[in-house]
Amino acid sequence: MASNAKTRRLDCGATVDRISNLPIHLKHLILDRLPVDDVARTSVLSKAWSDIWIMYPNLVFDDEFFSRLVSKKFPTEDKQVQLSEVSKTISNILLLHSGPILTFILNVPLHLPLHQSMNVWIKKISINGVRTLELFNREPVDYKMPSSFFSCSNLTRLWLVKCILNPPSKFGGFCNLIDVTLVVVRITGDMSFGTRLKQLALLHCSGVEHLGSHFKNCNNLTGLIIVDSEEIDWHLFQCTPKMQLKTLELEFGRETDVMKKVINLDKLFGNMPRINNLYLDGFFLESLERNASVLKRPITTLEKLNLEGVRLQNLVHIHNALCLIRSSPNLRYLRLVLAPEVYSSNNMDSLDASMLSVDMIPHQLKTVEIQEMIGSVTELQLVKLLLASTPSLKCIKIQNNNIAFF
């Protein structure tokens, strides 16, 4: 009995360090829930914890990190002192970390210009085999990515905000990138994110024309989002019959010079044989050429269609929206977000069931969502037309001023 009691006391932690004896993956899960500066402090606990810190692969310098560091440690210091201390803290953390750095996330706060130090940090993580890099720059000045960034050969996921990409003249592209999101990024020269890229999002970027290599037949791109870019060469989309593209979002968000270049629906979507999910805004609909009421080649793979900012007063919007619907025989989900404007009951006098080709009725359409309706005669005509032309419809959701009707 005495021996059992002694064993129980030991098991309760008298001499056994249960946390230190946990498997390495469980220790990493614990560290994942701590701020990165606290994670770094574990290296002084013991030799075992020092080894764990060296091999801990995720470094996250997010808003919480900067808030803790600045507000608690240097709340009354001037900006220069704050900048110096923050830069020193991050540099020391990276200096103590000699193992692989697979994830590096940095949210650069406003009024802390860390750009000069960031060059050193990115060189460090490029050497340590970084795979996920997320850099959110809030400074008013764009951050120019250093040359060491283009040597991150293990990179698989990239997210950049307010940066400049100036690729070296002999840059051959990344080898392992799969997912790229660029927000307010300026691309200054021809470059490639590599043939393994699957997801590409370009939001308010410039220099998009330098990414022409991703529209070649040999790439694996399955998802493409382009928002508010005027440098799109639409001929690139006409040379992609073997693309793997399944999800496409094209959003202008405003009237741009691109709208002056009329885009042919047949040429645009006829070269996307695998497209499954399509999102277009009203400004893009405005730029599409209005010709036939149905595409020469139906989009047989399209299952989800999202049209946002559709103006029912605009006959070009109406024509192109209906053309896409009736050219998608396997469409299952349709979402229309109507532009907030005053409609006239005479706008759709010509819109009736005859506008949908009999042999191209979307037989598979099961769900329809219409948002921002105000209950005009024009809108009701549209609803009646959809109801009369969709034999498999199971659910129609109409939203009026945040009130939904089913």
Per residue in 138-190, pLDDT (tens digit) is 999 999 999 999 999 999 999 999 999 999 988 888 989 999 999 999 999 98
Query: What pLDDT does 307 receive?
Result: 95
Domain annotation covers residue 362: no
The predicted pLDDT at position 132 comes to 97
Tokens at 251, concatenated: 């959003």
**From CA 159, how far away is CA 171, in angstroms rounded?**
19
DSSP for 367-395 reads EEEEES----HHHHHHHHHHHHH-TT--E
What average pLDDT does the segment 29-43 reach? 62
Q: How many residues does the chain have?
A: 406
Residue 241's pLDDT band, with cuts at 50, 70 and 90, is low
Q: Is residue 35 part of a domain?
A: no
Residue 223 lies in a domain: no
The reply to whether 94 falls in a domain is yes
* Local confidence band at 214 (pLDDT 50, 70, 90 cut-offs): confident
Give the count of beta carbons closer than 10 Å to the beta carbon of residue 269: 21
- Distance in angstroms (rounded) separating the CA atoms of residues 11 and 1: 15
Residues 387 and 396 sit within 8 Å (Cβ to Cβ): yes
Count of structural domains within the chain: 1
**Which residues make beta-bridge pairs with 250?**
226, 280
Highest mean pLDDT among 46-60, 147-161, 166-180, 326-340: 147-161
| CA distance between the termini of the chain | 70
pLDDT band at 345 (very low <50, low <70, confident <90, very high): very low
C-beta of residue 137 within 8 angstroms of C-beta of residue 162: yes
Query: Looking at residues 381-400, what average pLDDT do you find?
Result: 85
Residue 83 confidence (pLDDT): 83
Q: Average pLDDT of 332-359?
A: 62
Residue 137, in any domain of the structure: yes
Note whether residue 169 is domain-resident.
yes
Domain extent for 158: 57-199
Q: Is residue 272 included in any domain, yes or no? A: no
How far is it, in rounded angstroms, from Cα 280 to Cα 250?
5
Quote the pTM value: 0.81
Does residue 404 have a pLDDT over 70? no
**Strand 223-227 to strand 132-137: parallel, antiparallel, or no bridges (unpaired)?**
unpaired
Whether residue 300 lies inside any domain: the answer is no
Which tens digit of pLDDT belongs to each residue from 72-126? 666 556 777 778 888 888 888 888 777 888 999 999 888 888 998 999 999 999 9
